[in-house]
Amino acid sequence: MSEDKEAQENELLALASIYDEEEFRRAESAQGGEIQLCLELPPNFKLLVKGDKTAEYNVCFLPPLVLNFELPADYPSTSPPVFSLSSKWMTKAQLSSLCQRLDELWDENQGFEVLFMWIQFLKEETLNFLSIQSPLELYRSSIKGGGERRKTDPEAKAGTQCMSQSEKPEEKKADVQKENSDQHFSPSSQSDPRAVVLMDPHSDPLPQLLDFDEAQRQRAFDGKVFCCGICFSDKLGASCLCFKGCQHVYCKVCMTEYFQIQIRDGNVQCLNCPEPECTSLATPSQVKQLVDEELFARYDRLLLQSSLDLMADVVYCPRHSCGTAVMVEPDTTMGICSACQYAFCTLCKLGYHGVSHCKITADDLRSLRDEYLSATPEGQKFMEQRFGKRVVQKAVEESFSRDWLKENCKCCPRCGTNIQKVDGCNKMTCTSCKQYFCWLCLGALSKVNPYSHFNNPHSPCFNQLFHGVDVDDDEFWSDEED
């Protein structure tokens, strides 16, 4: 007995020296403990999710196998360790097979310490022993009201790798009756009472598996050393930020300053990787880690605003004192603000006018022609429906007329009437108000002696009565003819 106790103590001390506290925890009140074993997955290991939709996920870590054990007083000379084996992703049948294999290893090495041998087998050989390969299939069943799960055909197949299985009530009842009648586990049984499935059969296992994988990846990242691509300093991963899309790494000090500048400038859509031509964006959780609460609140608000701006069915209340985002029903031009109850046209932002055409201001009418002429046939048809075909045609005609008048006419300095100069000297007479004016400088001329403007040496138009005019020596002009 003393030799067994000494062997037990030596084995437990050896395990404590080999594995850290997160892997091995020794029991305080008995000769035993708990060992958590993360399996070594091959590269590019995938989870294949089947259900309403099929999807694949790359994982580097799966939740550990948990081996709980207690050493009897006559271990290792006579009795094996008393143990249970549990998992969050293996099936009852898979865990039962592993329990049987541990029994076989004890039978082959009875009289010797086997805990380290068990650990090495579970950690290194479990995948091959159970023929688990990538992709590992995960069947997701829909959860109905009352906690009843809908059965899927793949779950009914025997021997299929399935991390989430449901059993019929009759089968569960039969298993309970069998366990009550058979107090000891036999190798021919389908399930081992020492095999414990930790996953709730009514819950979706995928989020838990992905969360564990993410946490373990972060833990591995935190322990590595990286060179920041901005300040070129070597820092531990715990002091760095890794962009998930591209895996580029920068220190948190540099990225904090970068994020602060962009958020203050309102460029919340530009929190991307600083690597040239890289488009990977920082996640909101990463931004929240690096900036204070006030800046993150601004980032969150502007990000929501920019996201709403990109949504075709979202407009904003046109009232300056409101500006609330409003969801618009398809195929309608009416928006009703949920905050101030203002009903408005989503096209012209004025009060809702039903089937009547949108009203357009004089300033907007000037730019309507260019927009109409550059639009596609579909766009032109939409504008005609929105403003009315007659309004659009009028805008086009008036715009062309305005361009022609601008190029060929000048305005009377007195009444503003457009005057076209066809021929003759630079002394003009307005056809509307009969005002004399100079075509060159548009200055008003004296009605008594309008030509003095061109004869006065101090006038800006001195001797320029016929400037720019082809003069025929045989032709003469008088005040009456002009």
Q: What is the pLDDT of residues 364-403, one digit of tens each?
A: 666 676 677 777 888 777 777 666 666 677 666 766 666 6
- Cis peptide, bond prior to residue 135, ω within 30 of zero: yes
| 239 residue type, one letter | S
The predicted pLDDT at position 310 comes to 60
240, 425, 430, 438: the active-site residue: 425
Confidence band, pLDDT 50/70/90 cuts, at residue 1: low
- The CA distance from 194 to 102, in Å, is 11
Contact status, residue 161 vs residue 137, Cβ threshold 8 Å: yes
What is the phi-psi region of residue 456: left when phi exceeds 0, alpha when psi lies from -120 to 50, beta otherwise? beta
Domain boundaries, the chain: 2-143+154-167+190-201, 223-309, 362-409, 415-482
List residues bridging with 136 in a β-sheet. 47
What is the reported pTM? 0.51
Could you report the per-residue pLDDT of 52-93, keeping only the tens digit for each? Answer: 778 888 888 889 999 999 999 999 999 999 999 999 888 889
Q: Is 425 a catalytic residue?
A: yes
Question: To 10 degrees, the CA torsion angle through 439, 442, 444, 447?
Answer: 10
Looking at every residue in the chain, the average pLDDT score rounds to 78
Give the right CATH number for 223-309 from 2.60.34.10, 3.30.70.100, 3.20.20.70, 3.30.40.10: 3.30.40.10
In whole angstroms, what separates CA 402 from the centre of its chain? 49
Q: How confident is the model at residue 448 (pLDDT cuts 50, 70, 90)?
A: confident
- pLDDT tens, residue by residue, 112-152: 999 999 999 998 899 999 988 888 887 654 433 333 333 33
How far apart CA 163 and CA 136 sit, in angstroms, is: 9
The yes-or-no verdict on residue 173 having pLDDT over 70 is no
The interaxial angle of helices 362-374 and 377-387, nearest 10 deg, is 150
Q: Are 2-143+154-167+190-201 and 223-309 in the same CATH fold?
A: no
Query: CATH topology for 2-143+154-167+190-201?
Result: Ubiquitin Conjugating Enzyme (3.10.110)
**Structure confidence at residue 162 (pLDDT):** 43
Residue 227 has pLDDT above 80, yes or no: yes
